[in-house]
């Protein structure tokens, strides 16, 4: 265990950051805001993104070398958790964890300097275009159908990626492509010729995209990394995104359980609060257990991320493990919270639905519980 993490000063700072992020989120991102943005053109608010930048949170994870604040995942988790508690629809994990971390993990200093500084400033919202399966039981981190191939006029990028977030108003993509037998990583602006973004509406009112690269011409300067370095940089950011998505899922779990408990305590049927019925009590307990399992594993996962030099396989195993637990628990809480509420839990005007829909989205994103368990099994076999 990283002794840093037990460092009292850091603990205090993290607590303060969590409190201020919570205060900010409740004030600046009330549920009415999330509600209002559902189904809107981009599904989120660039103005709000600017406020995140003002808080310094768009650069929280980015190292000082690139004008960021060089904070750890524990700190980032405090911000991510606060925003998730308010179901803020902004693509914080997709852009500020997943995409930013791929970029930061790679070695193209010019591109890093340029992109990361814009990200810190809140001017650039990037996404990662990596996934080629539309559906199915496993995830595959290697690119196959999207290819970067040499032509007479230069390198050309062709193929389609799915499940890219943000699904609209994304400024550019970190793209994983097959080059020869290697994985390569490219930066492709959204407005590059040949890029076609098809937004796909998601359950929670945000969107993801299927991005078609139709012979997009690439310049060497756009290459972030290639070969083992590319796979290492991408895998690391993917693992980090898994953990931070689990942070969001835990925040959702907590709100759903709290809403449900509050309802159980106050809703009266047959002359008693329904929370006095033992069958419902025991089901609520099972939800608590899942939430606390998520929370316990997540603590260890965050420590491991902050303890940067952990074994790669251990890190990936841990990341898949927490995403599996957080996703399953998130969906269980979503379903059971509706059930324990009864009819009202199924109405749109009751806020529970906002959390249920977000839990659906996040449990599926980056690979659901089953896909993560299968990845875990593969990794466990490698490391036996």
Partner 1 sequence: MSTNQTTDWNALDTDTFRQTVRAFFEQNYPAEMRYPKTRLRWAEIKDWYMTLSKKGWVAPSWPQVHGGMGLSPEKLIVFIEEQERWGVGRAPDMGITMIGPLLIQYGSEEQQQKYLPKIIQGENIWCQGYSEPNAGSDLASLRTDAVEDGDDFIINGQKTWTTLAQDATHIFLLARTDKTVKKQEGISFLLADFTTPGITVRPIRNIAGHEEFCEVFFENVRVPKANLVGGLNQGWGIAKALLGFERIFLGSPKQSQYALSRVEEAAHALGLFGDQGFVDRYTQLQLDVADLSALYVRFVEQVKRGEKLGPDVSMLKVWAAETFSRLANLLVEITGGSGAVAGDIEVNGKKIDVLTSFYNARPATIYGGSSEIQRNILAASVLQLRS
- Residue choice 282, 309, 343, 384 for contact with its own copies (CB under 8 A): 282
- Residue choice 40, 160, 198, 277 for contact with partner 1 (CB under 8 A): 277
- Nearer residue to its own copies within complex by CB, 23 or 281: 281
- Nearer residue to its own copies within complex by CB, 279 or 384: 279
How many angstroms from the chain centroid is the CA of residue 45?
17
Q: Give me the 312-351 binding string for partner 1, x by CB under 8 A, dash otherwise.
A: ---------x--xx-----x---x--xx--xx-xxxxx--
DSSP helix/strand/coil, 181: coil
How many residues interact with its own copies (rule CB under 8 A)? 5
- Residue choice 41, 109, 121, 134 for contact with partner 1 (CB under 8 A): 134
- Is 131 a binding residue for partner 1 by CB under 8 A? The answer is yes
- Is 350 a binding residue for its own copies by CB under 8 A? The answer is no
- Nearer residue to partner 1 within complex by CB, 221 or 300: 300
- Structure token digits, residue 84: 């998730």
Using DSSP bridges, classify how beta strands 268-269 and 272-273 pair: parallel, antiparallel or unpaired: antiparallel
C-alpha–C-alpha distance, residues 143 and 42, integer Å:
27
Which residue in 379, 326, 114 sits closest to 222, CA to CA?
A: 114
Please report, in angstroms and rounded to a whole number, the separation of the first and last CA atoms in the chain.
22
- Is 27 a binding residue for its own copies by CB under 8 A? The answer is no
- Count of residues for the chain? 384
DSSP helix/strand/coil, 161: strand
- Nearer residue to partner 1 within complex by CB, 66 or 355: 355
Distances (CA, A) of 348 to 92, 245, 262, 304, 345: 25, 24, 19, 39, 8
Minimum distance, C-beta of residue 223 to partner 1, in the bound complex (Å): 26
The piece of 9-17, 150-158, 271-279, 338-346 that touches its own copies (CB under 8 A) is 271-279
The piece of 65-73, 90-98, 119-127, 289-297 that touches partner 1 (CB under 8 A) is 289-297
- Residue choice 11, 113, 281, 339 for contact with its own copies (CB under 8 A): 281
- Is 353 a binding residue for partner 1 by CB under 8 A? The answer is yes
- Nearer residue to partner 1 within complex by CB, 311 or 339: 339
The piece of 72-80, 167-175, 273-281, 296-304 that touches its own copies (CB under 8 A) is 273-281
Distances (CA, A) of 159 to 65, 136, 178, 197: 34, 19, 10, 12
> Per CB under 8 A, which of residues 207..246 are in contact with partner 1?
208
Q: Are 248 and 137 in contact (CB under 8 A)?
A: no
Torsion of CA 71, 304, 375, 136, to 10 degrees: -30
- Is 371 a binding residue for partner 1 by CB under 8 A? The answer is yes
- Is 270 a binding residue for its own copies by CB under 8 A? The answer is no
* 296: partner contacted, choices partner 1, its own copies, none (Cβ within 5-8 A by kind): partner 1
Phi, psi (degrees; rounded to nearest 5) at 86:
-100, 15
- Is 31 a binding residue for partner 1 by CB under 8 A? The answer is no
- Residue choice 32, 153, 278, 381 for contact with its own copies (CB under 8 A): 278
DSSP state letters, 51-111: HHHHTTGGGSSS-GGGTS----HHHHHHHHHHHHHTT--S-IIIIIIIIHHHHHHS--HHH
Q: Which residue has the tokens 């796909």?
A: 200
* 305: partner contacted, choices partner 1, its own copies, none (Cβ within 5-8 A by kind): none
- Nearer residue to its own copies within complex by CB, 46 or 272: 272
Q: Which residue has the tokens 């689990």?
A: 246
Is 232 exposed, middle or buried, given 0-12, 13-18 or 19+ CB atoms closer than 10 A? middle
Interface residue list for its own copies (CB under 8 A): 277-279, 281-282
């Amino acid at each position: 265990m990283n002794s840093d993490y037990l460092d009292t000063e850091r603990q205090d700072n993290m607590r303060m950051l969590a409190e201020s992020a919570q205060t900010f989120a409740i004030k600046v991102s009330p549920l009415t805001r999330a509600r209002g943005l559902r189904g809107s053109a981009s599904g989120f608010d660039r103005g709000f993104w600017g406020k995140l930048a003002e808080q310094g949170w768009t650069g929280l994870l980015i190292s000082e070398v690139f004008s960021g604040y060089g904070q750890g995942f524990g700190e980032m988790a405090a911000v991510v958790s606060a925003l998730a508690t308010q179901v803020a629809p902004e693509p914080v994990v997709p852009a500020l964890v997943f995409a930013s971390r791929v970029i930061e993990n790679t070695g193209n200093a010019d591109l890093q300097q340029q992109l990361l500084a814009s990200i810190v400033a809140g001017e650039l919202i990037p996404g990662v275009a990596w996934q080629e399966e539309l559906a199915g039981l496993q995830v595959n981190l290697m690119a196959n159908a999207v290819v970067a191939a040499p032509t007479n006029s230069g390198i050309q990028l062709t193929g389609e990626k799915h499940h890219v977030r943000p699904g609209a108003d994304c400024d550019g993509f970190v793209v994983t492509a097959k080059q020869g037998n290697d994985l390569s990583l490219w930066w492709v602006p959204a407005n590059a010729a040949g890029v076609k973004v098809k937004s796909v509406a998601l359950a929670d009112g945000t969107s993801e995209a299927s991005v078609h690269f139709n012979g997009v011409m690439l310049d060497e300067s756009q290459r972030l990394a290639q070969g083992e370095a590319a796979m290492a940089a991408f895998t690391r950011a993917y693992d980090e995104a898994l953990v931070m998505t689990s942070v969001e899922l835990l925040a959702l779990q907590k709100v759903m359980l709290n809403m449900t408990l509050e309802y159980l305590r106050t809703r009266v049927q047959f002359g008693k609060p329904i929370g006095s019925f033992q069958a419902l009590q025991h089901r609520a307990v099972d939800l608590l257990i899942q939430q606390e399992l998520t929370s316990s594993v997540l603590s260890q996962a965050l420590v491991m991320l902050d303890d940067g030099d952990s074994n790669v396989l251990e890190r990936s195993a841990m990341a898949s493990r927490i995403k599996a637990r957080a996703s399953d628990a998130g969906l269980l809480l979503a379903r059971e919270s509706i059930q324990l509420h009864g009819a009202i839990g199924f109405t749109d005007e009751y806020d529970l639905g906002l959390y249920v829909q977000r839990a659906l989205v996040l449990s599926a994103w980056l690979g659901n519980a089953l896909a993560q368990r299968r990845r875990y099994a593969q990794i466990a076999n490698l490391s036996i």
